Every structure is written in structure tokens, then in C-alpha cells.
Amino acid sequence: MPLLELVDVEASYGPVKALHGVSLAVEEGELAAVLGANGAGKTTTLRAISGVVRRSGSIVFAGKKLPRRPESTARLGIAHVPEGRGTFSELSVWDNLRLGGYTRRSGTKEDARRVFEFFPQLEERRLQQAGTLSGGEQQMLALGRALMQRPRLLLLDEPSLGLAPLVVEEIFGALERMNEQDGTTIVVVEQNARLALRAARRAYVLEVGRVVLGGPSEELRANESVRKSYLG
Amino acid sequence: MILVAFTWSELAQQVVTGLRNGGIYASLALALVLIYRSTRVINFAQGELATFTTFVAWSLMNHGLGFWAAFPLVLAIAFLGGAAIERVVIRPVENASALTIVIVTLGLALLLNGLMNVIWGGGEKQFRGPFSTRTIQLGGVAISIQDIGVVAVSVAIVVLLGLFFRFTKLGLALRAAALNPASSRLVGVRVGWMLALGWGLAAVLGAVAGMMIAPIVFLDPNMMQTVLLYAFVAAALGGLDSPVGAVVGGLALGLLITLLGRYVGFVGETLKLPAALLVILLLLLVRPAGLFGRLAVRRV
């Protein structure tokens, strides 16, 4: 049974429908990518899962129907790093991390140590106001905050956006380690299809609010239409 | 400017009196800032809420409770009452425009004022405070025990609140919910409850201010109306977004009013309030965000 399964999920912003029945499944321990052009519904798919946007259709997580509020999905072990990273810019790096561990009773110190192992830069800047970090450091902080939640499922929205290639490498390297070492299931939305298909084991392609293709990354890499539209 | 006869010991007394009033303004200003930060709304009912809880204290004391026995009880009642008001009255209009919510808080103020008149009657009541009005000699300066007590209580409450915000997880969540509700939800913070908690804490601050000022003036349903006005000014002076600013603004306003009234001849008792407001107006012209209001630094 997959850890996460979406069946016919629809969502709208006011009168504008963004998802027209998305169905996809992610296995436990998998790193899955969601690809697609601007406006295809990638971000909305993540929002529907975490409950940020109202949706219909069924989403099952770990064998149970998923609640529809972000506070509740967070408490079930879903960490969502949203578009724009969702940094608490006015708070310190350390307070951002503490907030990641908000729903956990204890272990803040140990969890923070793990975050600092992944991203040593954050430890040097722990007392700095988060809004003054560079873009790459903010993305690391967002990942660190999510890591503090000790998630079973990590949802990432365009982690490479606006970052230098070297920083992107570092971030994706960290993602792969989280996936392999801790067995965290990860769903990552990416515009950079080459990068995503390299890191992910499975991928889905969205077009105007529907899944048009899905399967193991090697298959998609070999697919003619994917090569044309996304790998250039 | 015409300076009035001056002695150091009198200056010290005036400063303590100014700080005493300032501490009360600061408590109420802090209550306003707490709610403003999380909802962007000025709570016009904050004054009546404070008076109402002070009346509750008065009733408890009339039933034989001492001040310090009634004090924690009143704070608990204020907290629950404030949180309940957020849930019942403010929640349904949460997503309405700021103007709508302001009108709701004005309505709430009128309602509470009416209720107080019905329950306790309109006349002035003597409120026996916890501190003696006797004066003691401190290094040649005569200072009333009551003034020192009021300053001490205000400081203690502000320090406790600061510790709560800085060092507890709940305090951090409360700040986070005010700064970035969307991200707060994603880490599991129940933002709706944080708003209720904020209203509860604001009501507690108001109750402290009410119980501190009631022994100095008389207790009546309109007692806090002028104080609320001062609290607005204090909050604006400090920067509506800044709790530290509210405290500094309150103390500064208290000092300014007292010292201007005493030492600037042509100002005197009658003109001390407009004079103080004029000084603050000029200051806000230079720093519109207030003394401690700041813009968040963002890099992208």
C-alpha cells in the first residue's frame, strides 16, 4: 500500500479550477518528483495534500483519510516547505528551527544537531535574523525547519528556484541523504526536470491540472514527449 | 520657557509619580499592541474590559477577599473572558475588513459599559488598593509606597510577559502566528487558538492596569476611557508593532505629562496633556513608525 495516495483530487482558487482530478501514489521511503510547466497545478497539488487549499476527492495517508487543515496534517507528520520557503523572516534562525519542532514534545536539541550536520552554515548564523540570510541559506533553513518536524512525508515546492547551481547541488544532495539515511518520503515539485529526474525514483508530469504521465524516472527520461517539453 | 522653583528631591518625587502613571499606560498599551500585532486591529474595548475586570475584583473584595487573594482570581477570569470574547465575538468577523472589526470592538465597549452600569450602578466607588498611601523617606526624598508598588507590579508583569514570549514554546508560537500565520499552520501551530490566547493575555494586562489605577482615582464604568486614550498615544509613540515600544512609550508619556505640568510654567496643570501630545506629534512627524517600529529586513 502506498504511503500517500491521491484519487481524483480537485481544487480551485475562487472560480478558477487549478486541479481537474489529480491521481497519484507515492510509496513509503520514495523520493518522487512532480514536473510540469508554470500553472500546471504542481504547487496546488502540494497545497491540497497539506490542506492549505480546499479540495475535493480522496487523499489517503498511511492508510487513513487525510484531514483538510494544515495544522492537522502537520501533526500527522507531513512537513510542507511552501513556495517562497515560508521563512519567519523577523525571527532568528534558531527560533525558526524551534518552530519546526513545535509539535514535538522533546528532542529539540538533538534534532537541531542533525540539522546543523546537514547545513553547518545555519549553526554559525543561529542568532541572526532569518530574513537577512542569503537565498540559499534560507532554503537550507526551510529544509531544516521541516526536518525539525521529523516528518514521515516531506513536501517541497521548487527548492532550486532562484539559487546558484552550486547551492542547488548542495540542497539536492541533502535531500537525497535525508531520503536514504532517514527513510523520509519526499515529494518534490520542480521546474528543473533534469535535476528532478536525476534525484527522484518516480515522477509524475502535470499538465493543466491533470497527471498526464507517471512512472519510474528512467522511463520518463526516455519518453519522447518529456524529452521534448521538459528536457529540451 | 519659564522654569518653576526646583529642588532635586521634588524632581525625584515627580519622576516616581510619572513612572507610576506611565506604568499603567504601558500595561494597557501593551495589551493594545498584543492584539494589534496578531490581528492588525485596534481593540477599542480594551479600556472597558479592564474596568469590567476591576469591578469583578471590587465585588470579590466586597465579599471578604483580600486584594492579593482576589488578584490571581481576577487575572484568571480576565484571561478566560478575553479568550472567550475572541472566540465568540471576534471569530465570526475574523475575515471581515479591519473597519468592521473596529466597529465590533466599539460595540463591545458600549455593551460592557452598559453592563457595568446595570450590574454595579453608575456612581464612583472607593477601591481599596494593596499599597498604603503613606510616604517613606528614601535618601531624603519622600515617596509614596503606593507609587512604588504600582511601578513594581507593572514592571513585574512586563518582565514575566517578556520571559514568556522569549523562552516558552507557546510564546514563540504566539509571535510566529502574528508574524506569519500561513507558515505557522504548516508547522502545526493552531493559529485560531493563538489569537484567543493573545486576547486572553491582553485582558490580563488590562485587568492589572485597572486594579492599579482604581485606588488612585475612583472606580466607575468610565474609569479607563482617558487611560485608554493615553495607551493609544503610548502605543503609537513606541510603534504599534513593538511590545518594548509600548512599555517605553507608556513610561515616556507618563513622565512627559507629569514633568511638563510641573516644571514648564506656562503649561501647568491645565495644559500638560496637550503639551505632551504636541511633543509626541512632532516626534511622530520625524519617525512615523514610532520609536521602536521597524520594518522587517528581507533579502531574496
pTM for this one? 0.87
Do the Cβ atoms of A135 and B188 come within 8 Å? no
Show residues of chain B in contact with A79, CB under 8 Å. Answer: 186-187
A22: alpha, beta or left, given left = phi > 0 and alpha = psi -120 to 50? beta
At B207 the three-state DSSP class reads helix
Do the Cβ atoms of B183 and A88 come within 8 Å? yes
If you average pLDDT over every residue of chain B, what do you get? 90
Given CA atoms B53, B57, B63, B68 in this order, what sign does their dihedral have?
A: positive
Do the Cβ atoms of B173 and A102 come within 8 Å? yes
**What is the ipTM, given to two decimal places?**
0.93
| Rounded Cα distance, A52 and A212, in Å | 24
| Rounded Cα distance, A163 and A96, in Å | 21
pLDDT value of position B38: 79
Q: Give the model confidence (pLDDT) of B222-240 as tens digits.
A: 999 989 999 999 999 998 8
- Tell me the mean pLDDT in the region A206-224: 92
CA distances from B80 to A71, A189, B77, B163, B252 (A): 23, 44, 5, 21, 31
Is residue B296 predicted with pLDDT exceeding 60?
no
Is residue B298 predicted with pLDDT exceeding 70?
no
- Residue bearing the bigger pLDDT, B140 or B222: B222
CA neighbor of A85 nearest in space, from B300, B114, B191, B96? B300
Q: Give the model confidence (pLDDT) of A67-110 as tens digits.
A: 999 999 999 999 999 999 999 999 999 999 999 999 998 888 99
Q: Give the model confidence (pLDDT) of B57-95 as tens digits.
A: 999 999 999 999 999 999 999 999 999 999 999 999 988
Is residue B137 predicted with pLDDT exceeding 90?
no
At A139 the three-state DSSP class reads helix
- Residue bearing the bigger pLDDT, B39 or B78: B78
pLDDT value of position A172: 94
- Residue bearing the bigger pLDDT, A169 or B139: A169
Percentage of residues of chain A with pLDDT beyond 90: 86
Q: Please give the residue of chain B at the shortest CA–CA distance from A50.
A: B186
Percentage of residues of chain A with pLDDT beyond 70: 100
Percentage of residues of chain B with pLDDT beyond 70: 96
Q: Give the model confidence (pLDDT) of B145-192 as tens digits.
A: 999 999 999 889 989 998 999 899 999 999 999 899 999 999 999 999
| Rounded Cα distance, A21 and B200, in Å | 43
- Amino acid identity of B250? G
Q: Give the model confidence (pLDDT) of B251-288 as tens digits.
A: 999 999 999 888 887 887 788 888 888 888 888 888 88
Residues 6 or more apart whose CB falls under 8 angstroms from that of B209 comprise: B24, B27, B28, B31, B50, B154, B224, B227
- Tell me the mean pLDDT in the region A156-160: 94
What is B208-250 written as a DSSP string? HHHHHHTTTS-B-TTTHHHHHHHHHHHHHHH-TT-HHHHHHHH
| Rounded Cα distance, B21 and B27, in Å | 10
Do the Cβ atoms of B169 and A129 come within 8 Å? no
